[in-house]
Amino acid sequence: MVVVGAGMGGLVLAHGLAANGIEVRVHERDARAADTGGYRLHLGPDACAALRHAVPAAVYQAVVASSAGAAGFRQFSMFDHRLRLLTSLATEPGENLLIGRVALRSLLADSLPTTTRFSSEFTTFSRSGKQITAHFADGTADDCDLLVGADGVRSRVVRQLAGRRLARALPERGFAGQAEWDDVASGMPEELLSGPAFVIGPDGVAMFLSAHDPSSSDIDPVAVGAPAQPATVLWGVISHDDVDVDAVARWAPWVRVLLDRTPAGAVTRFPFHAVDPAADLTPWQAGRVTALGDAVHAMPPTGGQGAGTAIRDAWLLASSLAAADVDTIPLAVRDYQRGMADYAAAAVRESLQPLRWRRAVSSPVGFGAVRVAAAVSSAVRALRRAAPSTAGR
Convert the pLDDT of each residue in 38-63 to its tens digit. 778 999 999 999 999 999 999 999 99
Query: Average pLDDT of 317-325?
Result: 95
Cβ count near 215 (within 10 Å): 13
Query: Average pLDDT of 93-113?
Result: 90
* Least confident range of 27-41, 97-111, 207-221: 207-221
The percentage of the chain sitting over the pLDDT mark of 70, rounded to a whole number, equals 91
The percentage of the chain sitting over the pLDDT mark of 90, rounded to a whole number, equals 65
Residue 331 has pLDDT above 80, yes or no: yes
pLDDT of residue 312: 98
Query: Average pLDDT of 82-102?
Result: 88
Using an 8 Å Cβ cutoff, are 113 and 129 in contact? no
Residue 393 has pLDDT above 50, yes or no: no
Residue 92 has pLDDT above 80, yes or no: no
Query: Average pLDDT of 273-284?
Result: 96
Which is nearest to 61 in space by CA: 109, 13, 97? 97
pLDDT of residue 72: 82
- Report the C-alpha gap between 178 and 39 in whole angstroms: 8
Query: Average pLDDT of 91-102?
Result: 87
pLDDT of residue 371: 53
Instruction: Please report, for residues 95, 177, 258, the alpha-carbon distance to residue 52 in angstroms, rounded to integers and kept in the order given.
Output: 11, 30, 35
Query: Average pLDDT of 322-329?
Result: 94
pLDDT of residue 316: 98
pLDDT of residue 356: 83
Cβ count near 253 (within 10 Å): 12
pLDDT of residue 37: 76
Residue 155 has pLDDT above 90, yes or no: yes
Question: pLDDT confidence of 355, banded at 50, 70, 90?
Answer: confident
- Report the C-alpha gap between 123 and 129 in whole angstroms: 20
Query: Average pLDDT of 206-218?
Result: 86
Question: pLDDT confidence of 381, banded at 50, 70, 90?
Answer: very low
Residue 295 has pLDDT above 70, yes or no: yes
- Residues 6+ positions from 144 with CB-CB distance below 8 Å: 1, 2, 25, 131, 132, 133, 134
- Report the C-alpha gap between 167 and 274 in whole angstroms: 5
pLDDT of residue 190: 94
Mean pLDDT across the chain, nearest whole number?
88
Residue 296 has pLDDT above 90, yes or no: yes
pLDDT of residue 11: 98
Cα 18–Cα 30–Cα 147 angle in degrees, nearest 5: 45
Query: Average pLDDT of 91-98?
Result: 85
pLDDT of residue 305: 93
- Report the C-alpha gap between 219 and 249 in whole angstroms: 37
Query: Average pLDDT of 293-316?
Result: 95
Residue 389 has pLDDT above 70, yes or no: no
Residue 161 has pLDDT above 90, yes or no: yes
